[in-house]
Amino acid sequence: MKATIVTIGDEILIGQIVDTNSGYIAKALDKIGVQTTEMLSISDDKQHILNTFSTVQNKVDLVIITGGLGPTKDDITKKTFCDYFDDVLIENPEVLAHVTEIIEGFYKRPITQLNRDQALVPSKCEVLFNKMGTAPGMWMKKENTVYISLPGVPYEMKYIIDHEIIPKVVKEYQRPYIVHKTILTYGQGESMVAERIENWENNLPEFIKLAYLPAPGRVRLRLTARGSDEKVLQNAIEENVKTLTKIIGDIIVGFDEGETIEVAIGKLLQLQGKTISIAESCTGGKIAQMLTSVSGASAYFRGSVVSYATETKIAILNVDAETIAKFSVVSEAVAKEMALGIQKVMQSDYALATTGNAGPNKGDSDAEVGTVFIALATPNQVIVEEFNFGQPRDKVIDRASNKALEILRKEILKNLQ
């Protein structure tokens, strides 16, 4: 099965909001073997919507549309559906009862005509119940293509996808199996990883595809297998992952989307019964945010200080002013004192510190833009490494944060051996 996802809204096209709906829908469809072949964002224009519907007609099995179902005049999706399907709007009693319950029961105010109009749906459509809001979803078929209209509000869209559309597609359609496996690597760039695994990649079965998903300081490798026998696909994926691990096991930190480096570090710290604290300057709190994004991080994360100003390094982390005067704030010596300072303040086993010039200006140091010192205080020693992550600024911050976590993970693993 193939699907096209269409988001309707000028606010998306002018960059006022970011389209997160398409990604959610594509993931949900992928899990049940439906391949998304195209994502489109189009304006709130009747003719543009009609042209889009006509273009995808019979080219895909499903067209899932989000947006344009609100009660105001600029929300034209329902009327456009009627034009495309040669239909008329009628009032649906079940939807009206639900809308009335929300407006009068929850919001405690009289229902208006605009509210009542939310219960208007094309007479030929199958209504998809929206428990989370007043705009119902709509399911209509024309020749070989099903058109599904959903509200653009993310939590409403998600409810209808999860409770209405996915169960219906699973019940009514035969679908192939799609199996994914994501391998997360840190410390080497895309080209270097590709060089190391070239022979392995060339020998993958034809039904398994490899995609490289690079980001600053890390590369995700996604294996995708498609076929009619799920067990065969899973076994083939697992066998090839075992072979891959023998080749690049030194840079693999986890598998699949949820097994990030911060998750892996959390598990290692809990296994050891150890704690971590962070002192950040150029990374501005990003490392702390990454670590605390993991549920249960309070078991090992003691706290952090964003010591962006030189005075803060001195006053809170007890960095010696003479050290700064002699070596500058972007230096090995200052990074070391920052790590030891936060380790003492937070009484943690491990402590990370970053100081550098993320750019575009040099700030309080003459060090080259892109220069970053990362220090790790362990229970036994302090390790400091110098890097130059280039530009732009966002890249420096991302690469420094990822590299700091990579250094931390490797050191924790040493202490497990």
Summarised one tens digit per residue, pLDDT across range 23-46 is 999 999 998 999 999 999 999 889
Q: What is the pLDDT of residue 176?
A: 87
List the CATH number of the domain containing 87.
3.40.980.10
Q: Are residues 378 and 285 in the same domain?
A: yes
Q: What is the pLDDT of residue 44?
A: 87
List the CATH number of the domain containing 349.
3.90.950.20
CB 8 within 8 A of CB 135: no
The HSE-up count of residue 281 (CA atoms within 13 Å, CB side) is 34
What is the domain extent for residue 209?
Answer: 177-255
Q: What is the pLDDT of residue 259?
A: 78
Summarised one tens digit per residue, pLDDT across range 169-213 is 999 998 888 899 999 998 899 999 999 999 999 999 999 999 999
Say yes or no to pLDDT of 74 above 70. Answer: no
Say yes or no to pLDDT of 411 above 80. Answer: yes
Q: Which has the higher per-residue pLDDT, 22 or 366? A: 22
Q: Are residues 181 and 140 in the same domain?
A: no
Q: What is the pLDDT of residue 362?
A: 65
Q: Kindly state the average pLDDT of the residues 250-279.
A: 91
Summarised one tens digit per residue, pLDDT across range 5-15 is 999 988 899 98
Angle between helices 261-272 and 393-416 (to 10 degrees): 30
Q: Kindly state the average pLDDT of the residues 85-95.
A: 95
Q: Are residues 330 and 242 in the same domain?
A: no
Q: Are residues 233 and 377 in the same domain?
A: no
pTM assigned to the model:
0.69
Q: What is the pLDDT of residue 10?
A: 87
| CB neighbourhood size of 211 (10 A) | 11
pLDDT band of 417, cuts 50, 70, 90: low
Q: Distance (Å, rounded) from C-alpha 122 to C-alpha 140?
A: 9
Q: Are residues 111 and 187 in the same domain?
A: no
Q: Are residues 328 and 372 in the same domain?
A: yes
Q: Distance (Å, rounded) from C-alpha 262 to C-alpha 259?
A: 8
- Which of 255, 285, 302 is the endpoint of a domain? 255
List the CATH number of the domain containing 222.
3.30.70.2860
Q: What is the pLDDT of residue 363?
A: 65
- Which of 255, 287, 305 is the endpoint of a domain? 255
Q: Are residues 212 and 150 in the same domain?
A: no
Q: Kindly state the average pLDDT of the residues 53-74.
A: 89
Query: For the chain, how many structural domains are there in total?
Result: 3
Q: Are residues 53 and 156 in the same domain?
A: yes
Q: Are residues 314 and 333 in the same domain?
A: yes
Q: Are residues 395 and 272 in the same domain?
A: yes
Q: Are residues 198 and 322 in the same domain?
A: no
Q: Are residues 275 and 251 in the same domain?
A: no
